Homo-oligomer: A and B are copies of this chain.
Amino acid sequence: MPTSDKLRLINALAKTGLTDINCASFVNKKKVPQMADAEELAQGITYRDNVRFTGSWLNKSGFERARSTPLHLSPYVFAYASNEFAERNNNMTAEQNLQNQTVLIESYKEAGLVVDTAYIFTAFGSEFGDADPRDCEGTIAKLLDVCAASGASPGLIYLADTVGFANPLLIRRVLDKVMNKWAQLEFALHLHDTRGMGLANVAAALELGVRRFDASIGGLGGCPFAGMKGASGNICTEDLVLMCEEMGIATGIDLDAIIDCAHMAEKIVGHPLPGKTMNAGRIRHVSV
């Protein structure tokens, strides 16, 4: 995907009402060549008020790369529930990764930043059978302990269903537990629509008051390290927007504009994207 096309898409997305756009991943350029243009991308964006253009990284050097760009920096920490996925995704054990968060927190401090967010990867299970969603609390607690020891206290916790294992009942069970245990924290979801339950999981979480979800335009994406051929993208942004608006939850996003972006993304990647609303269109209501 040429950098110029990515920029065209990002700049179009920024005009839809989205307030937070994750634009680039500062990860190993050799292992993930698709994302090797992170710096160039970050330089090319047409920055505008009221939109945070952010990026991702998995270690200190990735963060330092991001810091050298004009991107908005969201200082986050992360833990893996699956050890096997940790090794494949970040070349270290889940425990090594956990201890390594201290290094990341120190880098944030040097940059004058305060940790605000924590991600729990494979929170609902992994293809390797080594992540138990019943122990999601344990993974969160360990990460919060590491944070506390470094004087950091993230207020927002994203639970990531990295491989689409979650179902509405599991979402409810896990969220009920962690939201009760840490009532002072906000919980959010990073969902993949790998088995078609993406929006069902959103609906279950909406009911519990969750209001932040990661999503990708057209459902674009996947993960090369998830250990499965059918790995699919995040839940689809415009399908999510449509469902929320239909359920009376205002998103501030222009549905027509974001559907246009999905068509643009589909043309850029050159194959059909899994999003549904981009083909089906708006829902026509009976005027009262």
Contacts and interface: CB of A to CB of B under 8 A. Distances in A.
Interface stretch (A36-44, A176-184, A190-198): A190-198
Contact of A125 (B236, B248, B285): B285
A167 interface: yes
Contact of A285 (B129, B230, B274, B280): B129
Given A200-B202, A203-B200, A246-B170, A228 B129 contact: no
Query: How many copies of this chain are found per oligomer?
Result: 2
Contacts of A125: 283-286
Tell me whether chain A's interface is mostly helix, strand or loop, or mixed.
loop
A228 B281 contact: yes
Contact of A200 (B128, B199, B280, B287): B199
Given A200-B200, A203-B204, A280 B247 contact: no
A29 to B, nearest CB: 28
A33 to B, nearest CB: 24
A248 B172 CA distance: 14
B196 A197 contact: no
A275 interface: yes
Contacts of A284: 125-129, 165
Contacts of A243: 167-168, 195-197, 200
A125 to B, nearest CB: 7
Interface in A203-220: 203-204
A283 B130 contact: no
B196 A276 contact: yes
A265 B164 CA distance: 24
A224 to B, nearest CB: 15
- Closest 7 pairs between A and B when the two form their complex, measured CB to CB: A230-B279, A230-B280, A196-B239, A196-B276, A200-B200, A167-B246, A168-B203
